[in-house]
């Protein structure tokens, strides 16, 4: 179902018709366009809608819609943003995936739009705060933690020694100097990204006029800049090491729940096996997977049903205080690979596209039946295109360690730390040319046991089957190929990926070329 642009809020009219970003802030329950010069400037008390339009080679557009909620935004503003994204998607054809973004827990896809980072400022419309220009504020010493090798998550933490650790990079912003504290376990890619954030803070909050210093974890007071840094915390003292439970950083997978939106209420649906048959095209559903929640909207549902389901998902997250859960909303027929992989059964999507030769032949036959000359119509010059690399490292990476016949999900901070005695499974989903693509693979340490290698292959194969064979499967082993770590997913300078179309079976084949060898822990 779609709605006319004429029935859409005037601020949205003409949206999504050109490549690039468009942003609106919610003011008095209405979307107000944000000028291009202010893109990337977010206030903690506001809610925003972000539309990313990508022009495809065939002349059409792909749309991704995000709504960002500041930590101090009102529930009314958040609900309005959630509903308006549904209207905007419907006006654009109902094909976009909609992402809920909360301050401090943004997706890497959203962060990739704003380089080098997003640093929300105090203020907001509904909160009653005024939007104050940063250069007019009295400078307050702030401590930030930076995480990420490709896109950077920047979060303000309490200005205290207890906030520091050995694994992350911290930026201490004082009135006259900016310090970058590099944890001893941080990598060079993370340090490089954090340095970009330091430069951004210097240009944005200090008008480019302040000193910058780097402090290495472990350096004592003998180093002048390290001494100055530690003096701000009351003097140097060793940072504590993580406990064994903290080191593992393991996350457990939550039980999957399916809820149907019916007459304004969410009703749980019991099932023994999660299959596609549970979804009815005239209803909306919420698939709750803990860290991720999916809102599925049937093709024949009304706009009011979709708005209601979106609002219900927002209330559910707020009521349960699940600020870190990601929400993706999608229309029937345009489901993502990650959503389909949650189901034990999902019917194959029919390929309705005609090849250029088939289409040309049918047009020629039609014109010939009308007595028109079709000479030369069936001839066409072969088109040769250089394969492009369009994995931009902004997708979603999950890594599991194999334990016997089961797998354990690793925390993001542990994804690049592999051990030679273990086996791992990874899944990487990213946006392709016109749909979501998925890579599922295994990595074997050269000291791993045969039983766990067999279990890893079996578990990965089941994941491919759950994705209805819409995923490309890869297998790596330390010492038997040019890859030494999964870090390459997040380091674009270290890897070039070329995608080529296999004309025999219309599956994407992956040709991987490693530029540098990454060191394994």
Residue 211 confidence (pLDDT): 92
Which of 340, 361, 378 is the last residue before a domain boundary?
Answer: 340
Summarised one tens digit per residue, pLDDT across range 249-298 is 444 456 789 999 988 889 999 888 888 999 999 999 999 988 888 999 99
CATH classification at residue 52: 3.40.20.10
Is 151 found in the same domain as 113? no
> Which pLDDT score is estimated for 399?
87
Residues 407 and 495 both lie in one domain:
yes
Question: Considering only CA atoms, which of 221, 219, 151 is closest in space to residue 182?
Answer: 219
pLDDT of res. 100: 92
Please list, in sequence order, all residues whose beta carbon lies within 8 angstroms of the beta carbon of residue 404, skipping any fewer than 6 positions away.
451, 452, 455
In a domain, 422, yes or no: yes
The answer to whether residue 410 sits within a structural domain is yes
Q: How many CA atoms lie within 13 A of 224 on its CB side?
A: 1
Give the pTM.
0.65
On whether both 264 and 406 belong to a single domain, the answer is no
In a shared domain, residues 265 and 206: no
Task: Output the pLDDT for position 474.
Answer: 61
Q: Is residue 386 part of a domain?
A: no
pLDDT of residue 131: 46
In a domain, 127, yes or no: no
pLDDT of res. 346? 83
Question: What are the backbone angles phi and psi of residue 98, rounded to the nearest 5°?
Answer: -105, 130
**Domain membership flag for residue 107:** yes
Q: Is the same domain home to 160 and 205?
A: yes
Query: Residue 438 has what pLDDT?
Result: 79
Whether residues 71 and 178 share a domain: the answer is no
Among the candidates 340, 356, 375, a domain finishes at: 340
Structure tokens at 341: 């992989």
Quote the domain boundaries for residue 271.
Answer: 5-119+252-340
In 326-426, alpha helices (H): 337-340, 356-369
| Same domain, residue pair 148 and 94 | no
Residues 115 and 161 in one domain: no
pLDDT (0 to 100) of residue 52? 94
Do 409 and 494 share a domain, yes or no? yes
pLDDT tens series, the chain, 521 aa:
555 555 678 888 888 989 999 999 999 999 999 999 899 899 999 999 999 999 888 888 889 999 999 989 988 899 999 999 998 998 888 888 999 999 888 988 899 899 889 998 888 765 444 444 444 456 788 999 998 877 889 989 999 988 999 989 999 999 889 999 999 888 888 898 999 999 999 998 898 889 999 998 877 656 788 888 988 998 888 887 765 444 444 444 567 899 999 888 899 998 888 889 999 999 999 999 888 889 999 999 988 899 999 988 888 887 766 767 788 999 998 888 888 888 887 887 654 443 444 444 544 555 455 454 444 444 444 443 333 444 445 667 888 899 888 898 887 777 767 788 888 888 887 776 666 777 888 888 888 888 888 888 888 888 887 776 566 666 566 554 433 333 333 333 233 332 222 222 322 333 233 222 222 33
Q: 21 lies in a domain? A: yes
Residues 191 and 269 in one domain: no
Distance CA 433, CA 380 (A): 24
Do 88 and 174 lie in one domain? The reply is no
- Residue 287 pLDDT: 93
Burial of 265 (0-12, 13-18, 19+ CB in 10 A): exposed
User: 23 and 65 share a domain?
Assistant: yes
126 lies in a domain?
no
In a domain, 328, yes or no: yes
The total number of structural domains in the chain stands at 3
Domain boundary among 231, 260, 281: 231
């Amino acid at each position: 179902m779609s709605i006319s642009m004429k029935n859409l809020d005037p601020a949205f009219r003409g949206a999504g018709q050109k490549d690039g970003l468009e942003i609106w802030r919610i003011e008095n329950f209405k979307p107000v366009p944000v000028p291009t010069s202010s893109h990337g400037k977010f206030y903690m008390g506001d809610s925003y809608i972000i539309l990313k339009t990508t022009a495809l080679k065939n002349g059409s557009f792909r749309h991704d819609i995000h709504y960002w909620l500041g930590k101090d935004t009102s529930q009314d503003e958040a609900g309005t943003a959630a509903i308006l994204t549904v209207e905007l998607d419907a006006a654009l054809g109902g094909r976009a995936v909609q992402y809920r973004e909360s301050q401090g827990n943004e997706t890497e896809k959203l962060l990739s739009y704003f380089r080098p980072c997003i640093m929300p400022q105090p203020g907001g419309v509904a909160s009653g705060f005024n939007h104050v220009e940063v250069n007019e504020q009295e400078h307050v010493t702030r401590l930030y933690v930076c995480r990420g090798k490709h896109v950077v998550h920047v979060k303000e933490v309490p200005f205290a020694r207890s906030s520091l650790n050995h694994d992350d990079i911290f930026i201490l912003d004082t009135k006259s100097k900016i310090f970058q504290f590099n944890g001893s376990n941080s990598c060079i890619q993370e340090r490089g990204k954090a340095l970009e954030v330091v430069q951004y803070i210097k240009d944005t909050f200090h008008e480019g006029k302040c000193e910058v210093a780097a402090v290495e974890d472990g350096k004592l007071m003998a180093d002048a800049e390290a001494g100055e840094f530690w003096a701000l915390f009351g003097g140097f003292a060793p940072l504590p090491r993580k406990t064994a439970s903290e080191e593992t950083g393991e996350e457990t997978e939550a039980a999957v729940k399916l809820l149907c939106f019916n007459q304004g209420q969410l009703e749980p649906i019991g099932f023994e096996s999660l299959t596609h048959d549970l979804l009815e095209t005239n209803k909306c559903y919420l698939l709750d997977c803990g860290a991720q929640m999916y809102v599925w909207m049937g093709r024949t549902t009304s706009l009011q049903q979709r708005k209601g389901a979106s609002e219900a998902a927002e209330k559910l997250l707020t009521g349960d205080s699940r600020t870190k859960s990601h929400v993706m909303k999608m229309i029937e027929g345009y489901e993502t690979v990650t959503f389909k992989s949650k189901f034990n059964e999902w019917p194959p999507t029919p390929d309705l596209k005609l090849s250029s030769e088939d289409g040309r032949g049918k047009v020629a036959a039609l014109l010939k039946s009308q007595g028109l000359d079709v000479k030369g119509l069936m001839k066409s010059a072969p088109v040769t295109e250089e394969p492009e690399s369009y994995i931009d490292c902004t997708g979603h990476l999950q890594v599991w360690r194999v334990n016997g016949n089961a797998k354990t999900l690793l925390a993001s901070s542990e994804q690049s730390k592999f051990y030679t005695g273990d086996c791992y499974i990874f899944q990487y989903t990213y946006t392709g040319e016109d749909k979501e693509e998925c890579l599922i693979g295994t990595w074997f340490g050269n000291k791993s046991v045969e039983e766990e290698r067999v279990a890893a292959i079996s578990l990965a194969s089941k994941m491919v089957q759950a994705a209805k064979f819409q995923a490309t499967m890869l297998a790596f082993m330390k010492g038997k190929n040019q890859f030494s770590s999964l870090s390459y997913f997040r380091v674009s300078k270290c890897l070039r990926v070329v995608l080529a179309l296999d004309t025999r079976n219309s599956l994407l084949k992956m040709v991987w070329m490693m530029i540098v060898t990454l060191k394994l822990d």
